[in-house]
Structure 1
Amino acid sequence: MTFSWKRVNAILQKDFKDFSRNTAVSIVIFLPIILAAVYGRMGLDSIQAHYMNINMTFAMVGTYVQCCLIAEEKEKNTLRGLMLSPASTLEILGGKSLLTFLLTIIIVFFSAFLSEYKPANITIVAFAIVLSTLFYIGIGTLLGLVAKSVMESSVIVLPVIGIFTVGSFVTAWTEKYPILKVAEFLPNVQLIELAEKVEQGAGFVQVFSNLGIIGIWVVVVFALTVVVYRKRMID
């Protein structure tokens, strides 16, 4: 079976209609923008401040919105219809992720603009942001497939929002609590570390390890997502 952009586009259009009708979900995309505008007016210009907002965008848009959209499909039994359609796993998951991907990138751009974040190397940072976006969408898809309803999805996604938004501050306590060193391998912490290196003039070679760790997270979460998705196909 060949990959069909027509089927992906059809899924994208359906998701956009569902998203625009669900104000409880669609309103969250404005929260990071409002926070970024506040940061810009307060003159907060540290990497930690910028990336707390960017990581919030990933969690609130990339994960929360994606999780709710998938859970809503399950609750309405329309996801099963997609599974039984001629569309492949890649087409369905790609189509279901495309809207969230576009929204996340757009919100990150406007948030960075409003908070006046200007990275020293836009190419490296943009690549890292795209890679991170894929991870958070993967988490959202996985949680959406596990959740039994939209209400449940909005609850199980809360730990993700907490860990990947303010969890980066845990690294400040690693000297006192060595066990917390594992937090240094979280994708949000790696993204902040990458951004700090970029501001010091680092190139792709110097940040390759950070990109590699984020990439491993992406591969793992999408592998789990495909396994859970295919299990739902035969349930």
Structure 2
Amino acid sequence: MNANTRKIAVLCGKDARDVLQNPTMLVSCLMPIGFMLLYRYMMRRIGGDAVDTSAGRTLTDGFLMSTAAIFTIAMVGSMVLLYGLAEEKEKHTLRTLMLANVGAGQILTAKLAVTLALTAITEAVCFLIIGAPARMLPAFLAIGVIGAIPIMLVSALLGLLSRDQMTSGLYAVPMLLVAIAPMFSMIGEEVSNVTRFLPTGGTDQLFKLLAEDRLLSMDALPPVAVTAVWIIVCTVAFGLLFRRLARDN
């Protein structure tokens, strides 16, 4: 195991302990599960027998899978990184890591690994609650995990910009609103035309294509491109901001 891998492994252990010791982060992981139990119950009560028809199942599964993943991404993906980095800045842990010659890539890789693992576990539990066909689970987790990366990177940027945890709390609300905005795309075409370009917009569209068994169609290319652009831009921005903070320290 080389030095770079050892550093990332140590950082992953530290970040995992931080999550387990932080009640806010633990609650963030439990909230999507609770909301999916509520949503599933409401859909059954409102839809009645129509939910069990072929068309009803397609519509319901697409909505619930998208909602479960996006809500998980919003609560787990954004909150863990945002509060985690803000806490490290407040306690000067991040400065210590910088002075110890730990790079931006190592810190970001470790935090993404821990957060993505939590996201995948939470999404898997939500999928079981939804009751969608088991054959969709691999694609569901793949879309949910990869689709979480853009919002995680945006949260990481905001975490670096936060002076302390109180400041990060101010960023958390607009961050959550941006993350869950695609859930309201059904309001109208005008709303959908805007939300599809947000960090989680591509993820929302891919889940609906998955429910319709059209994930491998050409219609999947635009949402994949939107997700890829967000990942590239935010990764570059994180590296530039981290280097600036390292110089300031």
Shorter chain as denominator, the TM-score bin is: 0.7 to 0.9
Partner of 1:34: 34
C-alpha distance in structure 1 between counterparts of 2:140 and 2:65, whole Å: 12
1:234 aligns with 2:247: yes
The percent identity for this pair of structures is 23
Structure 1 residue runs of 5 or longer lacking an equivalent are none
Q: Match for 1:112 among 122, 127, 130?
A: 127
1:151-181 deviation line (CA, Å, top 9, x unaligned): 2112202112112214441463345x8xx73
Partner of 1:204: 216
Alignment CA distance shift 1:151-1:110 (3 Å):
same
Report how many residues are paired: 231
Partner of 2:231: 218
Q: Match for 2:74 among 48, 56, 59?
A: 59
C-alpha distance in structure 1 between counterparts of 2:186 and 2:3, whole Å: 43
C-alpha distance in structure 2 between counterparts of 1:212 and 1:159, whole Å: 24
C-alpha distance in structure 1 between counterparts of 2:200 and 2:133, whole Å: 19
Secondary structure of residue in 2 paired with 1:4: helix
Please identify, of 37-46 and 8-17, the stretch whose mean Cα deviation from structure 2 is larger: 37-46
CA RMSD of aligned residues (A): 2.3
Partner of 1:153: 168
Secondary structure of residue in 2 paired with 1:13: helix
C-alpha distance in structure 2 between counterparts of 1:224 and 1:192, whole Å: 24
1:1-235 aligned at under 5 Å gives the runs 4-43=4-43, 45-118=60-133, 121-170=136-185, 172-175=187-190, 181-206=193-218, 207-235=220-248
Structure 2 residue runs of 5 or longer lacking an equivalent are 45-59
1:195: how far off? 2.0
C-alpha distance in structure 1 between counterparts of 2:74 and 2:35, whole Å: 14
Alignment CA distance shift 1:156-1:87 (3 Å):
same
More helix by share: 2
Deviating above 6 A after TM superposition, structure 1's stretches of 4 or more consecutive aligned residues are none
1:117: how far off? 3.1
